[in-house]
Amino acid sequence: MDPSEVEFLAEKEMVTIISNFSLDKMYLIGGDLGPFNPGLPVNVPLWLALNLKQRQKCRIVPPEWMDVEKLEEIREQERKEETFTPIPNPHYMELTKLLLNHASDNIPKADEIRTLVKDIWDTRVAKLRLSADSFISQLEAHAKLDNLTLMEINTTRTFLLDSLNSMYKLRASLQPQPAAKGHHY
Amino acid sequence: MFLTDIRKEFYDVVVNQRVALFVSSDVDALCACKILQALFHCDHVQYTLVPVTGWQDLGTAFLEHKEQIKLLIKQDDDLGIPAYDDIFRDEEEDAEDSGNESDSNSEPSGKRTRFDEGAVERRIERQRAKREWEARRREILFDYEQYEYHGTSSAMVIFELSWVMTKDTKDMLWWAIIGLADQWVHDKITHMKYVTDIATLQRHVSRHSHHNEDEENSLSIDCMRICFEYDLRLSLYQHWSLYESICNSCYTTSSFKLWSMHGQKKLQEFLADMGLPLKQVRQKFNSMDISIKENLRDVIEESSNKYGMKDIRIQTFSVHFGFKNKFLAGDVVHAAAALLENVEKEENPSDNFIRALDSLSRYAKLSLSTAPERYTPAGVPDLSTLHRSKLDQLHCGIELAKKKLIAIQQTVASCICTNLILSQGPFLYCCLMEGTPDVKLFSKTLALTLLCKYLLKSFVRSTRNKRCKLLPLIMTAPMDVEKGTVIVLGIPPESETSDKKNFFGRAFEKAAESTGSRTLHDNFDTFVIELKTEDRSKFLDALITLLS
């Protein structure tokens, strides 16, 4: 999977916006989009929020977890634990990137949030690498990882699978050929 | 087209159609164009952008697009407009007649049909009234076209439109500021008007920037911040060294008379008076000592008062985004103008236009984004998505502007020292010969206008002849060597209370007619024309007789 595909999937997440125009309820295939009234908050998918923001038709309200103290707590917890901690949103990385690129004027302390999210990401990806490394070197048969997000899985997917395939091929060529049945010497 | 309500009569009409946008080659028009482009992007209006350099260009482009499009918008600098009712009859105008509608900022098209109705007596009565009216109209139009001057910046007008529709953003505000600064840099409006317009813009700036100061919710450093500055009148000083800037800004060179040895000495005294060591002052501004930079403006103001420069500071705005990008409005104007009239490489005008347009936008997306676009197998993010081309254009423009300013100052110095400016009676005349260094730069309108204004200001300071100080200046410079033409430009006399009205347009036309000189009055600014070199002397003689 391409990272841009993952980002595309992330755009289905709902965010709150405050529009400055009015429109009746829209009925789309994916679901209904509530009536828009100027000055009132409404929940919409991220792709629509970004489009409206670029056309200057709304103001985006940052999600609750996108807050300096909360993110600092999460980062501390992540650094302490060996395993992956649960994170507030399965697409935290994509959301951060999209919102901070397009709507940074609606998000207070945007620079600090960017740094904090990057720290959390770095810690998690490092853990993932460690665990993949030990998985391969100890020739484990199965592993279980909780609380991983799609984007993180996507970073190791190709590498992990390819390397496991290569290891399997190498191991298979070391095995002695089994005697063919039905041949008597 | 005269408009009273720009939103209903202009934007709402335009927003549902395909639009052709003809933009003339000056910085104010560029800014208005950017604001309109941003508005069109918001509302998904399809448009075609066509840069034009003069009336002929406009005509050809209009004919090319005539088949497809019904409504045209042309942007230009504002020319003074007399009252609506004095020129046109309200009723029965043929809308189809003038397919070429310009926005409220340009001259009347003058093509209106009027229907006469009624019985014979009434007809005679009407005819008499019509003749009177025609006579009055001719008089008014003559008055109108006699003097050319500039009204409100078109960028500001379009910004007001966007504000009325509450679609204004900081970017648009910044472009409106640049449009106004362009009018001031090229000396198109009076000081009073400039200060009034600055006050208007200041209201918008404070409206947009009330978020910045909040400790709790400080904005990202990448967001654009616009601030009001009461800054020095030294061109490009923050991107140059202070010394160079002082030597190449019109105000300081004319006050100190830096073309003479005496002037150079005075400059050294001035610097010593402020306590600025020469080594510091010659360094790039950003590398100067912090302790010097802190109070620089006040220190300079104090000292310049002693040396007779009372207005060394001027009200303006600056923009601030990212960690190292700080630009004053005047800097951007110089950069964009230099890019528009770039003669260094053999590029065609539309490339220069696009480059100048690009230099006005600021998006250089530094991808410090935490979700990298590409992954190498080791999972290390790939930061090669750094994309800086538009800011680079601005820096390139600043470098070109520096060269242009240096060339202007050197030309001014040589003209004054070699007494190239001659009084012809009713006006001063200066002619740039073929072999003068950087003369290619001055074949373009904006550069030549700047040169003219600086030259006149400096000349007024340097001459003792009281009469000469009140004369206007006409300048000629070679325009196109192959075609054998020169560019002729006239500016009004230099005075404190000048209302910046320029009467040379009409004067040039009349002189050309009377002598049969081959001229081209193609420029949107009527005080600039192209003339065949051979006809130069008889043209000037005609002008002398005309104006005395």
Residue range A127-184, pLDDT digits in tens:
999 988 888 888 777 888 888 899 988 888 888 888 888 888 888 888 766 655 555 5
Residue B5's pLDDT is 62
B281 touches B287 (CB < 8 A) = no
Q: Which residues of B touch A50 (CB under 8 A)?
A: none
CA distance A65 to A92: 9
CA distance B526 to B445: 11
Binary contact (B219, A105; C-beta < 8 A): yes
CA distance A105 to B120: 71
A183 domain residue, yes or no:
no
The set of residues, in sequence order, having a beta carbon less than 8 Å from that of B262 and lying 6+ positions away, is none
Phi-psi map region of B79: left, alpha, beta (phi>0 left; psi -120 to 50 alpha): beta
**Strand, coil or helix: B186:** coil
Residue B141's pLDDT is 65
Structural domain including A17 reads: 3-174
A79 domain residue, yes or no:
yes
Q: Which residues of B touch A158 (CB under 8 A)?
A: 377
CA distance A93 to chain B (A): 7
B498 domain residue, yes or no:
yes
CA distance A27 to chain B (A): 22
**Phi, psi values for residue A89, rounded to 5°:** -145, 130
**Strand, coil or helix: A85:** coil
CA distance B138 to B166: 41
CA distance B89 to chain A (A): 40
Helices (H) and strands (E) in chain B, counts: 20, 12
Q: What is the CATH number of the domain that holds A146?
A: 1.20.58.1020
CA distance A20 to A22: 7
Fill in the DSSP letter of residue B220: P
Torsion sign, CA atoms B343, B346, B350, B352: negative
Q: Which residue of A has its CA nearest to B44?
A: A55
Of the candidates B373, B485, B357, which has an alpha carbon nearest to the alpha carbon of residue B51?
B357
A181 domain residue, yes or no:
no
B88 domain residue, yes or no:
no
Q: Which residue of A has its CA nearest to B39?
A: A55
Binary contact (B369, A111; C-beta < 8 A): no
B424 domain residue, yes or no:
yes
Tokens of B356: 């100048």
| Residue in the block written with tokens 């081209």 | B520
CA distance B407 to B412: 9
CA distance B342 to chain A (A): 34
| Residue in the block written with tokens 């007596």 | B121
Structural domain including B501 reads: 419-547
- Report chain A's mean pLDDT, rounded to a whole number: 87
CA distance B236 to chain A (A): 29
CA B462 → CA A150, B429, B468, distances in Å? Answer: 75, 16, 11
B338 domain residue, yes or no:
no
Q: Which residue of B has its CA nearest to A2?
A: B374
A159 domain residue, yes or no:
yes
DSSP for A108-160 reads: TTHHHHHHHHHHHHHHHHHHHHHHHHHHHHTT-S-----S--HHHHHHHHHHH
Residue B118's pLDDT is 45
A179 domain residue, yes or no:
no
CA distance A119 to chain B (A): 9
B522 touches B530 (CB < 8 A) = yes
Q: Which residues of A touch B37 (CB under 8 A)?
A: none
Binary contact (B369, A97; C-beta < 8 A): yes
Q: What is the CATH number of the domain that holds B458?
A: 3.10.310.40
Chain A interface test: which of B35, B165, B220 (most A C-beta within 10 Å): B220
Pairing of strands B72-75, B19-24: parallel
Residue B45's pLDDT is 83
Interface predicted TM-score (ipTM)? 0.74
Chain A interface test: which of B223, B369, B370 (most A C-beta within 10 Å): B370
The set of residues, in sequence order, having a beta carbon less than 8 Å from that of B330 and lying 6+ positions away, is B181, B184, B185, B235, B236, B316
Residue B94's pLDDT is 26
Q: Is the pTM of this model over 0.90?
A: no
Of the candidates B458, B511, B470, B468, which has an alpha carbon nearest to the alpha carbon of residue B488?
B511
Residue A126's pLDDT is 92
Q: Which residues of B touch A118 (CB under 8 A)?
A: 370
Binary contact (A110, B369; C-beta < 8 A): no
Binary contact (A20, B166; C-beta < 8 A): yes
B361 touches B397 (CB < 8 A) = no
Of the candidates A48, A46, A82, which has an alpha carbon nearest to the alpha carbon of residue A66?
A46
A7 domain residue, yes or no:
yes
Q: Which residues of A touch B220 (CB under 8 A)?
A: 100, 104-105, 107, 110-111
Query: How many structural domains is chain A composed of?
Result: 1
Residue B191's pLDDT is 86
**Strand, coil or helix: B44:** coil
Binary contact (B379, A121; C-beta < 8 A): no
Q: Which residues of A touch B383 (CB under 8 A)?
A: none
Q: Which residue of B has its CA nearest to A122?
A: B370
Binary contact (A125, B379; C-beta < 8 A): yes
Neighbours of B105 (CB within 10 A): 24
Binary contact (A110, B166; C-beta < 8 A): no
B165 domain residue, yes or no:
no
Query: How many structural domains is chain B composed of?
Result: 1
Radius of gyration of chain B (CA): 26
Binary contact (B370, A20; C-beta < 8 A): no
Q: Which residues of B touch A20 (CB under 8 A)?
A: 166
CA distance A54 to chain B (A): 7
B539 domain residue, yes or no:
yes
Q: Which residues of A touch B42 (CB under 8 A)?
A: 55-57
Residue A10's pLDDT is 92
Phi-psi map region of B17: left, alpha, beta (phi>0 left; psi -120 to 50 alpha): beta
Range of lowest pLDDT (A25-29, A69-73, B300-304, B378-382)? B378-382
Q: How many residues does chain B have?
A: 548
CA distance A171 to chain B (A): 23
Q: From first to last of the 548 residues of chain B, give the pLDDT tens digit.
A: 455 566 666 777 777 777 777 788 888 888 888 888 888 888 888 888 888 777 777 778 777 766 554 444 555 544 434 333 333 333 222 222 222 233 333 333 322 223 344 456 667 777 777 777 777 777 766 665 556 667 778 888 888 888 888 888 888 999 999 989 988 888 888 888 899 999 999 999 988 877 655 555 566 777 788 889 888 888 888 888 888 888 888 888 888 888 888 888 988 888 888 888 888 888 888 888 888 888 888 888 888 888 888 888 889 998 888 777 888 988 889 988 888 888 777 667 777 887 888 778 766 433 233 333 333 343 333 332 233 367 888 888 899 999 999 999 998 888 888 888 888 888 888 888 887 888 888 888 888 888 998 988 888 888 888 887 788 888 888 887 788 888 888 888 877 776 777 778 788 888 888 888 788 877 777 788 888 888 888 888 888 888 87
**Phi, psi values for residue B126, rounded to 5°:** -65, -40
Q: Which residues of A touch B169 (CB under 8 A)?
A: 56
B404 domain residue, yes or no:
no
A41 domain residue, yes or no:
yes
CA B516 to chain centre: 32
**Strand, coil or helix: B375:** strand
A182 domain residue, yes or no:
no
